[in-house]
């Protein structure tokens, strides 16, 4: 449920409500809106019945039960879009933010080259996997901590923030000192311990949709993160598995406006993993933005033919430049703007 406080309620009144809630066994979280002061309270439903008295407390305007299984994530808890600021790069709101880079960090030379190319093309954030969750144990598993060091170097040189995927609590802990955004991949979307651990950090979390996850399951995964106190969650639609085999996955673009209706969190799209085919990345990127996505995460490799993973879906640097040019036409047409570079 959410407790909507009177807009003029005092700090003491808010504090008193918070204390009453925690005595009743609820976990509380302040949800700072522009129009309302709201306290999100999550806990056992049966204790909710004993809350009538809460409604009488000074400063309380109303108590709104949230019917959806996800609470803090839901639009009912927060009307306005959540906007996340990653070292001066904005994700959400009116902005369209572009994340790009190789599937994996393969060498210092490869990643630094890619990072410079992303910056030249006008991208905002660099991606690169240091821990790769591969289908085969014999495939390249990532450079691990050495890869993290290279990502940090690329960030220092370009001034752009970096995102990397973590696959367990160990890689999460290792990544904390090196990267700006933590990615939880499709294969770990329901790794609940990892979600909780990510929720205990103060880093923005890029949460990919599981390849067979419903929208509700995906939002429940985001709820795990938020319920631990981290509200900086970026949802990423990356295609789901269907009967179709012509594309790597099926990009569920209807999920974008649907999730934006259900949740206040920013939603980005990954057309690279969704299609598995570099030629489909441009059209699906444009479609994603037209559907209301707050940004894209794109695989780009300096030399895709030599990539150790996901070469066929990786854009060339020239492809990325072309895509950015096309985006400059589509983005204003749908009432948005390309995120501004505040840093670098």
As a whole number of angstroms, the distance between CA 28 and CA 64 comes to 14
| 185 contacts ligand PEP (rule: CB under 6 A) | yes
Under rule CB under 5 A, residue 310 binds Mn ion: yes
* Closer residue to ligand PEP, CB minimum distance, 14 or 298: 298
**Binder of ligand PEP out of 20, 71, 124, 208 (CB under 6 A):** 208
Residues 227, 27: Cα–Cα separation, whole Å: 8
Binding map of ligand PEP across residues 155-174, x = CB under 6 A, - = no contact: ----------x---------
Q: Which residue is nearest to ligand PEP (CB)?
A: 185
Please pick, from the candidates 99, 103, 151, 280, the single residue that binds Mn ion as defined by CB under 5 A: 103
Least distance from Mn ion to the Cβ atom of residue 257, Å: 26
In the complex, minimum distance from the CB of residue 226 to Mn ion, in angstroms, rounded to a whole number? 26
Using the rule CB under 6 A, give the single segment among 116-124, 180-188, 192-200, 215-223 that binds ligand PEP. 180-188
Contact 237, 256 (CB under 8 A): yes
Residue 315 binding Mn ion, by CB under 5 A: no
> Measured from the CB of residue 74, what is the shortest distance to Mn ion in angstroms?
30
208 binds, among Mn ion, ligand PEP, none (CB under 5 to 8 A by kind): ligand PEP
Question: Count of residues binding Mn ion (CB under 5 A)?
Answer: 2
Q: Which is nearer to ligand PEP, 38 or 104 (CB)?
A: 104
Look up residue 298 and give its two tokens. Answer: 């794109």
CB 104 within 8 A of CB 144: no
Tally the C-alpha atoms within 13 A of residue 202's C-alpha that lie toward its C-beta. 3
How many angstroms separate the CA atoms of 138 and 143, rounded? 14
10 Å CB burial of residue 258 (0-12, 13-18, 19+) is middle
Element (H, E) at 4: strand 2-5
Q: Give the HSE-up count for residue 251: Cα atoms under 13 Å, Cβ half-sphere.
A: 25
Is 186 a binding residue for ligand PEP by CB under 6 A? The answer is yes
Q: Smaller CB distance to Mn ion: residue 42 or 126?
A: 126
Name 150's Cβ contacts closer than 8 Å, sequence gap at least 6: 105, 107, 108, 111, 112, 128, 143
Give the shortest CB-141-to-ligand PEP separation in angstroms: 12
Nearest-10 crossing angle of helices 317-333, 108-121: 30
Give, for 189, the enclosing helix (H) or strand (E): none
278 binds ligand PEP (CB under 6 A): no
Q: Which residue, 42 or 174, has its beta carbon nearer to ligand PEP?
A: 174
- From the list Mn ion, ligand PEP, none, which binds 185 (C-beta under 5 to 8 Å, kind-based)? ligand PEP
Q: Are 182 and 162 in contact (CB under 8 A)?
A: no
| Residues in contact with Mn ion by the rule CB under 5 A | 103, 310
| Residues in contact with ligand PEP by the rule CB under 6 A | 103, 129, 133, 165, 185-187, 208, 238, 270, 273
């Amino acid at each position: 449920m959410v407790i909507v406080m009177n807009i003029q309620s005092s700090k003491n009144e808010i504090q008193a409500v918070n204390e009453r809630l925690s005595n009743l066994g609820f976990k509380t979280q302040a949800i700072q809106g522009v129009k309302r002061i709201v306290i999100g309270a999550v806990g056992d439903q049966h204790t909710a019945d004993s809350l009538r008295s809460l409604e009488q407390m000074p400063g309380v305007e109303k108590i709104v039960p949230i019917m959806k299984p996800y609470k803090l994530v839901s639009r009912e808890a927060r009307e306005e879009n959540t906007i996340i600021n990653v070292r001066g790069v904005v994700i959400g709101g009116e902005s369209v933010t572009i994340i790009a880079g190789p599937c994996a960090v393969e060498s210092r030379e490869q990643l630094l080259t890619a990072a410079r190319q992303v910056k030249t093309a006008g991208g905002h954030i660099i991606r690169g996997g240091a821990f790769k969750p591969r289908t085969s144990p014999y495939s390249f598993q990532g450079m691990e901590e050495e890869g993290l060091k290279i990502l940090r170097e690329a960030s220092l040189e370009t001034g752009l923030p970096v995102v990397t995927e973590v696959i367990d609590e160990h890689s999460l802990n290792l990544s904390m000192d090196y990267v700006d955004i933590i990615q939880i991949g499709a294969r770990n979307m329901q790794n609940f311990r990892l979600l909780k651990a990510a929720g205990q950090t103060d880093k923005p979390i890029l949460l990919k949709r599981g390849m067979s996850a419903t929208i509700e399951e995906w939002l429940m995964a985001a709820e795990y993160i938020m319920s631990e106190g981290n509200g900086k969650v970026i949802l990423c639609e990356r295609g789901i598995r269907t009967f179709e085999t012509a594309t790597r996955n099926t990009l569920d673009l209807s999920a974008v406006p649907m999730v934006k209706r259900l949740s206040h969190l920013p939603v980005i799209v990954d057309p690279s993993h969704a299609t598995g085919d570099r030629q489909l990345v441009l059209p699906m990127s444009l479609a994603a933005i037209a559907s209301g996505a707050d940004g894209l995460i794109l695989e780009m490799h300096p030399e895709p033919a030599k990539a150790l993973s996901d070469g066929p879906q990786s854009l060339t640097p020239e492809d990325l430049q072309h895509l950015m040019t096309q985006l400059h036409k589509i983005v204003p047409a749908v009432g948005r703007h390309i995120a501004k570079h505040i840093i670098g």
